[in-house]
Amino acid sequence: MDRVGAKLLVAVIPFHRSSNSARVEEAEFGLDEERIAILKTYIERDVIEVALHGYSHWPNPYAVGRQSEFAGLSYPEQRDLIRRGKSELEDRLGHPILAFVPPYNTYDLNTVAALRSVDIRLLSAGIDGPFEVPSEMLFLPGTMIPRVLTDMLSDGLPPMLDEGLLVVTIHSYDFTDSGESPPDYRNGGKQSTQVTLEQFERDIKEMQGKRGGKIVSYSMLLNSGIDLSSQRLRANYQIRRTLLARNALLPRASWIYPVGQFYYTARSAREFFVKQHCVALVFYGGLFLIAATTAFSVLRSFDFSERQLRIARLAAGTLFGLVFARAAISGLYIKTAIAATLLAGAFFGLHVLRHKAVFSQRVTVGDVNVSVRPK
């Protein structure tokens, strides 16, 4: 990191428990004197800063549907764990602890309140929160691992926007040099999720050189006035968690979808949000109108009876119902959404055709019924 001028934010677990069944009060400080000395050395060389990484990194039994050391615990319980961990690290390292990285990337709103009560200013986890708007807490979500940075540079990194951020989360198992294997959730795909330290260094230098990127530490972000608010977190959450983005309901194009690993400014994220929905309106609205107009025009040119028209509407409605049922079971994705829009448009065109009496009208002239077909 010295060679590329980077300062790492090192998340440190302060306490050690022999098992999850061991009492919290029985946890011992988990860093021996050698590790303390290493951390102090790099702090003094201004190569690292230290964040609190939970208490002992053991999951509690109260978290629902996910592992978490903190989510599910009461506010007093979380405050006590965080206060003790922060105090112990500060005493041993002689270094203020202003950032928190929750184990398993999970926490709840009690965690946020507990962090503020002990003067921790920044929380670095995932983009999903939870969070309140507004909030006194500052947020810096991790956005990628080293391998993703390598792949992004190979594929062509899109232009940087404003004060957008790439936040690289690093574990020792991310590098082949460590000799460790990544956990199963990292190796879900066929491609390796590891890179070499040499490759990572090259990637950082390329970001600094050709790409015009700048490496900043979290303390520089805190002191620079760059927006790390919950409003920014919410704006980035929204553009990635809308149905349009989650289910890829629009044609793939870089100007429609945000880059998943990029932490946009609140303004840029809001622009993306508006752009996504405007494009969706034009795309699906256009398909609907094309289908409606086509059904109206084509069927109008044939001499269909009103009964045949009802059958056609029933068929379109039935097909729409089947498509909708499939979407409810398997999820709504672009092919299904296009099919449903076209069928809805066709049904609407047939509906208008019938109610405008374009096919046939019955009028009475004296005692004679006359069929009139409008031109």
pLDDT digits (tens, 9 = 90+) for 12-71: 999 987 665 545 666 777 788 999 999 999 999 999 999 999 999 999 988 888 899 999
Q: What is the pLDDT of residue 19?
A: 63
Q: Domain containing 63 — which CATH number?
A: 3.20.20.370
Domain span at residue 144? 2-263
Cα–Cα nearest to 323, from 345, 290, 294 = 345
Q: What is the pLDDT of residue 161?
A: 53
Q: Distance between CA atoms of 272 and 281, rounded to whole angstroms?
A: 14
The gap from C-alpha 200 to its chain's centroid, in whole angstroms, comes to: 24
Percent of the chain predicted with pLDDT > 90: 49
Say if 268 falls within a structural domain: no
Q: Distance between CA atoms of 193 and 147, rounded to whole angstroms?
A: 6
Q: Is the pLDDT of residue 345 over 70?
A: yes
Say if 322 falls within a structural domain: yes
Mean predicted lDDT score pLDDT of the chain: 85
Say if 368 falls within a structural domain: no
* Through-space distance between the first and last CA atoms of the chain, rounded to whole angstroms: 79
Neighbours of 122 (CB within 10 A): 20
Give the CA count within 13 Å in the CB-facing half-sphere of 242: 22
Mean pLDDT is lowest, of 80-84, 131-135, 257-261, for: 257-261
Q: What is the pLDDT of residue 23?
A: 54
Say if 375 falls within a structural domain: no
Q: Is the pLDDT of residue 357 over 50?
A: no
Q: Is the pLDDT of residue 310 over 70?
A: yes
Say if 40 falls within a structural domain: yes
Q: Is the pLDDT of residue 365 over 50?
A: no
Say if 369 falls within a structural domain: no
250 and 290 in one domain?
Answer: no
Q: Distance between CA atoms of 214 and 207, rounded to whole angstroms?
A: 8
Q: Which of 232, 263, 294 is the last residue of a domain?
A: 263
The gap from C-alpha 291 to its chain's centroid, in whole angstroms, comes to: 34
The gap from C-alpha 254 to its chain's centroid, in whole angstroms, comes to: 16
pLDDT confidence bin for 3, thresholds 50/70/90: confident
Mean pLDDT is lowest, of 260-269, 271-280, 300-309, for: 300-309
3-class secondary structure for the chain? CHHHCCCEEEEECCEECCCCCCCHHHCEECCCHHHHHHHHHHHHCCCEEEEECCCCCCCCCCCCCCCCCCCCCCHHHHHHHHHHHHHHHHHHHCCCCCEECCHHHCCCHHHHHHHHHCCCCEECCCCCCCCCCCCCCEECCCCECHHHHHHHHHHCCCCCCCCCECCECCCHHHEHHHCCCCCCCCCCCCCCCCECHHHHHHHHHHHHCCCCCCCCCHHHHHHHCCCCCHHHHHHHHHHHHCHHHHCCCCCCCCCCCCCCCCECCHHHHHHHHHHHHHHHHHHHHHHHHHHHHHHHHHHHCCCCCHHHHHHHHHHHHHHHHHHHHHHHHHCCCHHHHHHHHHHHHHHHHHHHHHHCCCCCEEEEECCEEEEECCC
100 and 57 in one domain?
Answer: yes
The gap from C-alpha 104 to its chain's centroid, in whole angstroms, comes to: 16
285 and 255 in one domain?
Answer: no
pLDDT in tens, 212-236: 678 888 888 888 888 999 999 999 9
206 and 64 in one domain?
Answer: yes
Say if 371 falls within a structural domain: no
295 and 150 in one domain?
Answer: no
257 and 133 in one domain?
Answer: yes
Q: Is the pLDDT of residue 323 over 70?
A: yes
234 and 302 in one domain?
Answer: no
Q: How many domains does the chain have?
A: 2
pLDDT in tens, 160-193: 555 688 899 999 999 999 999 888 877 655 567 8
Q: Is the pLDDT of residue 358 over 70?
A: no
Mean pLDDT is lowest, of 5-14, 84-93, 110-119, for: 5-14
Q: Which of 216, 242, 263 is the last residue of a domain?
A: 263
Q: Is the pLDDT of residue 268 over 70?
A: yes
